[in-house]
Amino acid sequence: MCFYGRGNAPPPGEFQIMAGGVSIGIEVTMKYLGLVLDSRWKFEEHFRRLAPKLERTGAALKRLLPNLGGPNASCRRLYAGIVRSMALYGAPVWAPHLRRRPARALVSSQRVMAIRMIRGYRTISGEAANLLAGSPPWDLEAKVLAHVYSLRAEAHRRGETPLPRQISAWRDELRRDLMAEWKQRLSQPRAGLAVIAAVSPLFEEWLERRHGVLTYRLTQVLTGHGSFGRYLFRIRREETPGCRHCEDHPEDTVEHTVAVCPAWAEHRRVLRDVIGDGDLSRPALVQAMVRSEGEWDAVSSFCEAVMLAKEEAERVRERSSSRPSRRRRHSERRGSRDDLRPP
């Protein structure tokens, strides 16, 4: 492989050297121990070849991880770890040189797996999905791996052999730095603003909790991507964003469904009996969820009952509509059950 600087051009396509009478071709990339090295040390070619592999693996795992039913949360984390291991292979080598374009492969693959972990719609942003799933950005995790490797290499150069507890201490300290940088990123999100604003004030509590799993319908309420008039109107599944369950509200949102709509008054009363009579905004719901397992279950039960009823009403409207919906057309084409799978 020929290395060349910024002001130089790559070698000609037929460029060769002779060694012992043997002609050896010169390339600008070379695969070595699973990494694709390039002449400019940018690793763009490595991620260009890696991206299709991550996409194929993510697509295969998506079929194993439906939003309704399927493996539990632990199994979903295991499957996500498979893709993470593939993506971060060789991170100590390429992480210090990672650029924006190669990092897109990490962002895209992590978003797919995070959405599978939280049982969410595919329209959820990567930042929001990662936060709900408790999955730190992979580019930050790559930096941690690279830093630990450099600390171990430096110790070996000094003739020292770091003990396992010392390596563990390095990882813990770097992990704290990772979390701080992740939290700083979330202070200026590019998408998923509502759910990030609700969860980020309880960043540590959300990530360190030892109870509660996200369900398909609980995720709908936290993200706003689900059977809400505003969302369905935005993706052209409804003609108006208004609430179909009451007549005096022009827009069906998460806040309207949870705190205002009279159709869900009885479910709301049961929820308030458990979490208190405070407001029912998304930040308040998240605060209750992380407070105790009982309050998490109460919020989850409310979301299951209300969203299931909204989904059933949506199915009825679609069946009675003269214009077939996109969901029904896709369902008939696939021969799948009419279970309101996400778009």
Q: Give the number of domains in the chain.
A: 3
159 and 240 share a domain?
no
36 and 50 share a domain?
no
pLDDT for 241 beyond 80: yes
Residue finishing a domain among 142, 165, 193: 193
| 14 closest CA partner among 31, 30, 27, 33 | 27
23 and 53 share a domain?
no
| Sequence-separated (6 or more) residues with CB below 8 Å from residue 137 | 106, 107, 110, 130, 182, 185
Phi, psi (degrees; rounded to nearest 5) at 24: -120, 120
29 and 47 share a domain?
no
Provide the β-strand partners of residue 64.
Answer: none
Is residue 230 domain-resident?
A: yes
Q: Residues 211-231: what's their mean pLDDT? A: 96
48 and 123 share a domain?
yes
Phi, psi (degrees; rounded to nearest 5) at 17: -125, 155
Residue finishing a domain among 168, 193, 218: 193
Question: What three-state secondary structure class fits 143?
Answer: helix
31 and 52 share a domain?
no
User: What is the pLDDT, as a whole number, of residue 130?
Assistant: 97
Is residue 133 domain-resident?
A: yes
Element (H, E) at 207: helix 203-208
pLDDT for 314 beyond 70: yes
pLDDT tens digit sequence for 27-65: 888 888 989 988 888 888 899 899 999 989 988 888 889
Q: How many CB atoms sit inside 10 A of residue 95's CB?
A: 21
Is residue 202 domain-resident?
A: no
50 and 90 share a domain?
yes
Is residue 258 domain-resident?
A: yes
Residue finishing a domain among 193, 220, 240: 193
Angle (CA) 159-95-195 rounded to 5° is: 130
- Residue 283 and residue 221 in contact, taking contact as beta carbons nearer than 8 Å: no
Is residue 107 domain-resident?
A: yes
Is residue 6 domain-resident?
A: yes
Which residue range is the domain that position 127 belongs to? 42-193
User: What is the pLDDT, as a whole number, of residue 324?
Assistant: 52
pLDDT for 268 beyond 50: yes
pLDDT tens digit sequence for 85-132: 999 999 999 998 888 777 888 899 999 999 999 999 999 999 999 999
168 and 241 share a domain?
no
pLDDT for 338 beyond 80: no
258 and 318 share a domain?
yes
Better-predicted residue by pLDDT, 63 or 199: 199
User: What is the pLDDT, as a whole number, of residue 40?
Assistant: 80
Is residue 104 domain-resident?
A: yes
CA distance 183 to 177: 10
231 and 308 share a domain?
yes
187 and 269 share a domain?
no
In single-letter form, the type of residue at position 199 comes to: V
81 and 161 share a domain?
yes
Is residue 342 domain-resident?
A: no
- Residue 259 and residue 281 in contact, taking contact as beta carbons nearer than 8 Å: yes
Query: pTM (2 decimals)?
Result: 0.86
Q: Of 214-228, 246-260, 320-334, which one has max mean pLDDT?
A: 214-228
